[in-house]
Amino acid sequence: MKKKLVIATRRSRLAMWQAEHIKEKLEALHKGLQVELLPLSTRGDELLDRRLDDAGGKGLFVKELETALAEARADLAVHSMKDVPAELPPGFSIAAIPAREDPRDVLVSKRFASLAEMPAGGTIGTSSLRRSAQIVERYPALDIRLLRGNVDTRLAKLDRGDYDAIVLAVAGLKRLGLEARATASLSEDEMLPAPGQGALGIECLAAREEVVALLAPLADGSTTACVLAERAVSRALGGNCSLPLAAFAQANMDNMRLRALVASADGRRVVRCELEGDIADPLALGERAAQELRRQGASEILGFA
């Protein structure tokens, strides 16, 4: 058995927590295994003055980590699955998706208890087209403003008064012990999550069979199936973060329920679907959802009809 593994990770406090979490699980599973962290800065962490879709997409958070894997400086990388592009480069594999944390979004505000309470012109910080489109659909009078940076940076900007409220993934707050900062949970009906939100993905080179074998026990079957279905929707519709797209699957025994939506960036057009399928074939369910969204006009909304 391999005696040492190196995990490539982003440098943010949340990314480091996630990598440390996987490190502890691996060392507990495989006695005698040493695991080290290799913190790296990514372009996604450095480019804070624009939305990701304007700067090059989700791959900005993973490219440097994948380079470390390709150059054998690291054996695996830990990602938030919502940051992983729908298509991986040739030779790379998501070897394990552990059990998911709460996938929902939350409102964080020092002034307002809910989105419905916010007055016309109230400012909400987010860099997510998915979040902004769903907010504007219901609350068109609110002012959506760009908010980039890690969780601590975003909270600091809120506390400084730059925004009346911000929207964050509750999973990140929980992992950092900051769940008390959440003002209100947003139900899936109010804010459908991003594909893979709340789930971690462990990536390695597909040819590294010994690493794949060490990671296999970390995988959670139900979470993996749900995330695969969600990502299949994204892949079938173009697969990058310039899409105001949401997808969320829930497993129930042998069945899976998948909800998905596509929206115009201004929130004026939103198409939704809800389907059920066999948990054993999540990719087929995701592709069916994409077809249904296209039938309702998703291609036209996304600009490639």
CA-closest candidate to residue 36, choices 70, 78, 88:
78
Distance CA 207, CA 115 (A): 48
- Exposed, middle or buried, 144 (CB in 10 Å: 0-12/13-18/19+)? buried
Distance CA 48, CA 64 (A): 17
CA-closest candidate to residue 203, choices 280, 286, 95:
95
Kindly tell me the sign of the dihedral angle through the C-alpha atoms of 3, 9, 12, 14: negative
Token pair, residue 172, equals 């990140």
Catalytic residue list: 83
**184 phi/psi in degrees, rounded to 5:** -155, 135
| Residue 63 DSSP label | H
CA-closest candidate to residue 176, choices 203, 206, 213, 151:
151
Distance CA 171, CA 177 (A): 10
Return left, alpha or beta for 149; rule: phi > 0 is left, psi -120 to 50 is alpha, else beta.
Answer: left
Instruction: Using alpha carbons only, give the angle 216, 220, 225 rounded to the nearest 5 degrees.
Output: 110
Angle between helix 151-159 and helix 13-29 axes, rounded to 10 deg: 150
Distance CA 103, CA 30 (A): 29
Task: Name 186's bridge partners.
Answer: 105
